[in-house]
Amino acid sequence: MTTMQAVRIHAYGGPELLHHEDIPLPSLKPDDLLIRVRAAAVNPVDWKIREGYLQEFLNHRLPLTLGWDVSGEVVKVGPEVSAFAVGDEVYARPNIVRDGAYAEYIAVKASEVARKPATLDHIHAAAVPLAALTAWQALVDTAHLQAGQTVLVHAAAGGVGSFAVQLAKALGARVIGTASAVNTGIVTELGADQFIDYTKTRFEEVARDVDVVLDTVGGDTQDRSWQVLKPGGILVSILTPLPETSTAAPGARGAFVFVQPNAAQLASIGQLIDEGRMKPVIHTVLPLSEVRQAHALSQGGHACGKIVLHVAD
């Protein structure tokens, strides 16, 4: 077999530019794995790249296969790879500058791959890497969240937010989560100690002396978030670069996180999942043939949890 089915874009624009086509199998570099894709998740970065927002930042070449959340099975290993073997079940957030996982096969650098959590099927495993790594790199690597501290998670029912709530609780923090009232149950179930319905209550009127704010919303929400931080606190955005300081929060600082592949962190996340301390939340599962609908759902911005594409059994 020399070709495969994939979903690619040949120009930037709307979901109608997502095309199914036969393309050559990925070529392997010496330190790559070839993964048979079983499932791939849809993330906001996918449609942002599709629309052309990140052209200068990522320097992609068209045509491009989208999708950077994958769970599947190793079918071939490069000559420099010793940590994996054919048949291993794995998951990854692949390097975003390469072709993605809306395809039957994907080539991924072995150092970006971890073994799939044993307690998850491929559908649920595909929902983990990008969002959970974002939460980890925001809360652990950047904010250095400690037990006993308070963290405010915006959009706590979303893909990143749902993992951030669980990770913060696993670290021993007190968690405040914002979402709409319909998601009260899921946010509380994930471990939030306090729930704020952002449609009825301005979070800055009830949240005080917060150590860490994780902003997954941006705009006015980000601007108002400075007000709830204690001196020495940190506002972490996953959307836009922030000023290092703000007059609205003397002594506090801002930071920006753009998630990077990290196999060791994925392994740690997988361990938390297998211990029952974290779990993915899935909004919907669609076949790869309905990728345009999946993008429309993601772009709507109100999914509770992750949108996953079923690629193969």
Q: Where are the domains of the chain?
A: 3-128+280-310, 131-256
- Residue 223 pLDDT: 93
- Residue 312 pLDDT: 96
| Nearest-5° Cα angle at 273, 300 to 305 | 10
How far is 171 from 173, CA to CA, in rounded Å? Answer: 6
3-state secondary structure of 179: strand
- Residue 179 pLDDT: 96
| Positive or negative torsion for Cα 173, 176, 178, 181 | positive
Among 81, 84, 105, 91, smallest CA distance to 265 is for: 91
- Residue 304 pLDDT: 87
CA distances from 114 to 26, 54, 134, 189, 301 (A): 20, 27, 16, 27, 29
- Residue 61 pLDDT: 85
Q: What is the pTM of this model?
A: 0.96
Is-contact 124 89, C-beta < 8 A? Answer: no
Superfamily of domain 131-256: NAD(P)-binding Rossmann-like Domain (3.40.50.720)
- pLDDT tens per residue across span 65-86: 999 999 999 999 999 999 999 9
Element (DSSP H or E) covering residue 135: helix 129-136
DSSP state of 15: G
Architecture of domain 3-128+280-310: Alpha-Beta Complex (3.90)
- pLDDT tens per residue across span 85-117: 999 999 999 999 999 999 999 999 999 999 999
Low-confidence ranges of the chain (pLDDT < 70): none
- Residue 274 pLDDT: 98
- Residue 249 pLDDT: 81
Element (DSSP H or E) covering residue 269: helix 263-274
- Residue 113 pLDDT: 98
